[in-house]
Amino acid sequence: MDSIWKSSTQMPEFPALKSNKKTDVLIIGGGITGVLCAHFLQERGVEYILAEAGKICSGVTQNTTAKITAQHGLIYNKILKSRGLEAAAMYLHANLAAVEKYGELCAEIDCDFERKTSYVYSVDSLKKLEKEADALAKIGFYSEITDSTELPFSVAGAISFNNQAQFHPLKFLSHISKDLKIFENTRIAEFIPAEGNAWEHTAVTDKGRKITFKKAIFASHFPFDNKHGLYFLKLYQHRSYVIAFKDVPKIHGMYVDENKKGLSFRGYRDMLFIGGGSHRTGKKGGEWQELRDFARMYYPDGKEIAFWATQDCMSLDGVPYIGPYSPNMKGCYVASGYNKWGMTSSMTAAMLLADMVTEKENHHSAVFDPSRSMIKPQILLNGGEAIKNLLTPATKRCPHMGCALKWNVTEHTWDCPCHGSRFEKDGTVLDNPANGNLPEKGRQ
């Protein structure tokens, strides 16, 4: 069940932290966001340490479909209506800058970087696409709607972004991480904020080592500190599924359905990746079976090469949380809620946070402000899910906030419907915000 990326790449290895350390910036989390933050801080001569609980890029990052695009579904009409023209323009230009930054970095790295046209298609609603095109036109960005695609079924239309990209993420990260100051197998178990006028925070690892620092970047996928920022209300998690097929017609563009329950498509070498089957973590969905049923109908001669799943943090309004962690945690920053667009959003986050840490103004930061309004319908669903599962009798409960865990029959894991933590059958933690394994009494 390994992704194509994992099975074809050897990542560099780094030591575990063996002694107490002091640094200017602590980066918590060694996925693509944390690695890119470390890369940019090192370029600027900032002293930093990156602490990763396991092996770098061994979580969500290695399970991406690796599309690099500023086209995140039909997001621009949504932002325009809810937050105005300036916010929509900020979001667009921040993500276009991220695409171009990848192009700049990948020019020197053998990582299968290719420029592609991305498409959001709709099976039944041309009107939605026209509204998105109108919103983009108001921002000053040209997009085209077509009813002709490479997909094996008819669509009402598809809206395109030219000059986007795709790549092999682990080849890229293997190269860019090799000279960074990283400690693997170094789980941050406790975060102690500075008090009073003190400027030094302290982090304690699960082995009791201490790291003191002035600033922190929480790049741990789902922020694990519940005392500040209310991220346990502002975020929930979705699982998505991917299958790689051979012996199918090539698709040159990158496609995603505007319907959250729809499918995505991208090619890689002689393979086609089909993604979908998504559902809230801890719930049921179409999973891999939905993708196999689709392939049987439209690609009967296709051969399944690999299959894998991933997990994404979803924000209340479709825009990531990138910026100050909380007004009460001075010098601390967060990046989360990428809403299934992790490759582009991670670069956007790293560029923004590198500026914030070094106190450089960034004109795109306001749209991603984590302290923006929480008054969104999704917060009621998140709260309701939490209450329901907190009150559900169960022998296995998530150590994050105590919600009842659900057995995932397809993946043979214990999953939390509240915030998306996942555990192996033996209780080993797979996905946060749980910051450790199930207690011994919860493993039976």
- Note the pLDDT tens digit of each residue in 263-286: 999 999 999 999 999 999 999 999
Taking 80 as the threshold, does the pLDDT of residue 198 lie above it?
A: no
The band of 413, judged by pLDDT with boundaries at 50, 70 and 90, is very high
Number of alpha carbons in the 13 Å side-chain half-sphere of residue 63: 19
Q: So what's the pLDDT on residue 64? A: 96
Number of alpha carbons in the 13 Å side-chain half-sphere of residue 73: 17
Structure tokens of 30? 């060694």
For 214, counting Cβ atoms within 10 Å of its Cβ (0-12 exposed, 13-18 middle, 19+ buried), the class is middle
Q: Are strands 210-218 and 21-28 parallel, antiparallel or unpaired?
A: parallel
Q: So what's the pLDDT on residue 421? A: 96
Q: Looking at the chain, which residues constitute the CATH 3.50.50.60 domain(s)?
A: 4-64+171-233+318-368
Nearest to 231 by CA among 315, 329, 340, 347: 315
The band of 194, judged by pLDDT with boundaries at 50, 70 and 90, is confident
For 420, counting Cβ atoms within 10 Å of its Cβ (0-12 exposed, 13-18 middle, 19+ buried), the class is buried
Matching residue, tokens 């496609």: 255
Q: Looking at the chain, which residues constitute the CATH 2.102.10.10 domain(s)?
A: 377-442
What sign has the CA pseudo-torsion 414, 60, 336, 262? negative
The whole-angstrom separation of Cα 340 and Cα 328 is: 29
Taking 90 as the threshold, does the pLDDT of residue 169 lie above it?
A: yes
Taking 90 as the threshold, does the pLDDT of residue 441 lie above it?
A: no
Rounded to the nearest integer, the mean pLDDT of the chain is 95
The whole-angstrom separation of Cα 440 and Cα 427 is: 8
Taking 70 as the threshold, does the pLDDT of residue 373 lie above it?
A: yes
Phi-psi region of 201 (alpha: psi -120 to 50; beta: other; left: phi over 0): beta
Instruction: For 332-393, give the secondary structure using H, E and C.
Output: EEEEECCCCCHHHHHHHHHHHHHHHHCCCCCCCHHHHCCCCCCCCHHHHHHHHHHHHHHCCC
The band of 359, judged by pLDDT with boundaries at 50, 70 and 90, is very high
Determine how many CB atoms are found less than 10 A away from the CB of residue 247. 12
Average the pLDDT over 152-180 and give the result: 97
Average the pLDDT over 107-127 and give the result: 97
Q: What is the pTM of this model?
A: 0.96
In 16-168 the beta strands, taken as DSSP E runs, fall at 21-28, 48-51, 67-68, 114-122, 144-146, 157-166
Taking 70 as the threshold, does the pLDDT of residue 103 lie above it?
A: yes
The whole-angstrom separation of Cα 219 and Cα 57 is: 12
Output the CA angle 135-140-143, nearest 5 degrees. Answer: 65
Q: What is the pLDDT of residues 329-346, one digit of tens each?
A: 889 999 999 999 999 999
The whole-angstrom separation of Cα 218 and Cα 334 is: 5
Average the pLDDT over 409-417 and give the result: 95
Average the pLDDT over 20-43 and give the result: 98
For the domain 4-64+171-233+318-368, what is the CATH superfamily, name and number?
A: FAD/NAD(P)-binding domain (3.50.50.60)
Q: What is the pLDDT of residues 218-234, one digit of tens each?
A: 999 999 888 899 999 99
Taking 60 as the threshold, does the pLDDT of residue 235 lie above it?
A: yes
Which residue(s) pair with 211 in the sheet? 21, 203
Architecture of domain 377-442: 3-layer Sandwich (2.102)
- Residue 380 — φ and ψ, nearest 5°? -70, -40
Identify whether the C-beta of residue 372 lies closer than 8 Å to the C-beta of residue 259.
no
The whole-angstrom separation of Cα 305 and Cα 295 is: 13
The whole-angstrom separation of Cα 403 and Cα 387 is: 8
Output the CA angle 260-267-144, nearest 5 degrees. Answer: 60
Packing angle, helices 75-83 and 85-106, rounded to 10: 140
The whole-angstrom separation of Cα 342 and Cα 344 is: 6
Identify whether the C-beta of residue 151 lies closer than 8 Å to the C-beta of residue 299.
no
Identify whether the C-beta of residue 322 lies closer than 8 Å to the C-beta of residue 353.
yes
Taking 70 as the threshold, does the pLDDT of residue 249 lie above it?
A: yes
- Residue 6 — φ and ψ, nearest 5°? -65, -40
